[in-house]
Amino acid sequence: MSVFIQNSHKSIINSIKFKKRDFTVLSIGVMLRDFEGFTYNFIKVTFVFPLFFVLPTVLIDDEDIGKMKELHIDYLIKKSEWMTLKVESDAQLKLITEYCEWSACSGLGSFMVQGESILFDDLWPNVHWSHPTEFPKLDWDKVLTLIDIQEVGYTLITNDNRINSTSKMLNYIPKEYEIDLENCDI
């Protein structure tokens, strides 16, 4: 199994409502079911803390909340559908990315956001199958990168110059994963 990086198709770009200027949209193809731990390894080498995650609450139970409290993860649950979490350490990242992969492999997905002065209340998504996912309160001028984490990979919406092209992104795929260059846009 391998990883590929492509410029996103218009249908993927249109699946999330965002301020289109200054952002590059890339797709990273990886079957998370086959690459357990890829999310942690990728995010760890690519981004810096703090990071925000948005997870569906349907798979999170009291035991999971207890683990989050043990690791001192700040979180907020709102609308009983989503929870937002602020991750500030490797141990916290390891736990939360496991939940991201679990959600993705269950068909639910999750999001990661990196940026400046982002608040929990900025991150409540409106997700519906018949229209683009939207973060109505999110100020896109504060966002450096948003990742939509799904079972078949990620959609990266970024204006981070380190990772805003497929060739630059190759440098951030952890070395233990094979890159499918034939299916990459390079």
Does pLDDT of 13 surpass 70? no
Tell me the residue type at 123.
L
Residue 1's pLDDT band (cuts 50, 70, 90): low
State mean pLDDT over 86-101: 97
pLDDT single digits (tens) 39-70? 999 999 999 999 999 999 999 999 999 999 99
Could you give the maximum distance between any two Cα atoms of the chain, in Å? 45
| CA–CA dist 29, 56 (Å, integer) | 22
Contact between 92 and 53 under an 8 Å Cβ cutoff? The reply is no
Q: What residues make up the domain containing 93?
A: 4-183
State mean pLDDT over 170-175: 89
Residue 31's pLDDT band (cuts 50, 70, 90): confident
| CA–CA dist 68, 55 (Å, integer) | 13
Higher pLDDT, 119 or 20: 119
- Residues facing 157 on adjacent strands: 25, 146
* Tally of domains within the chain: 1
Contact between 7 and 183 under an 8 Å Cβ cutoff? The reply is no
| CA–CA dist 33, 109 (Å, integer) | 13
Q: Is the pTM of this model over 0.85?
A: yes
Helices and strands in the chain, H and E counts:
5, 11
User: In sequence order, what DSSP letters do the residues of 7-48 get, joined into one string?
Assistant: EPPHHHHTTEE---TT-EEEEEE--TTTSTTHHHHHHHHH--
What the block records as the tokens of 125 is 């998504």
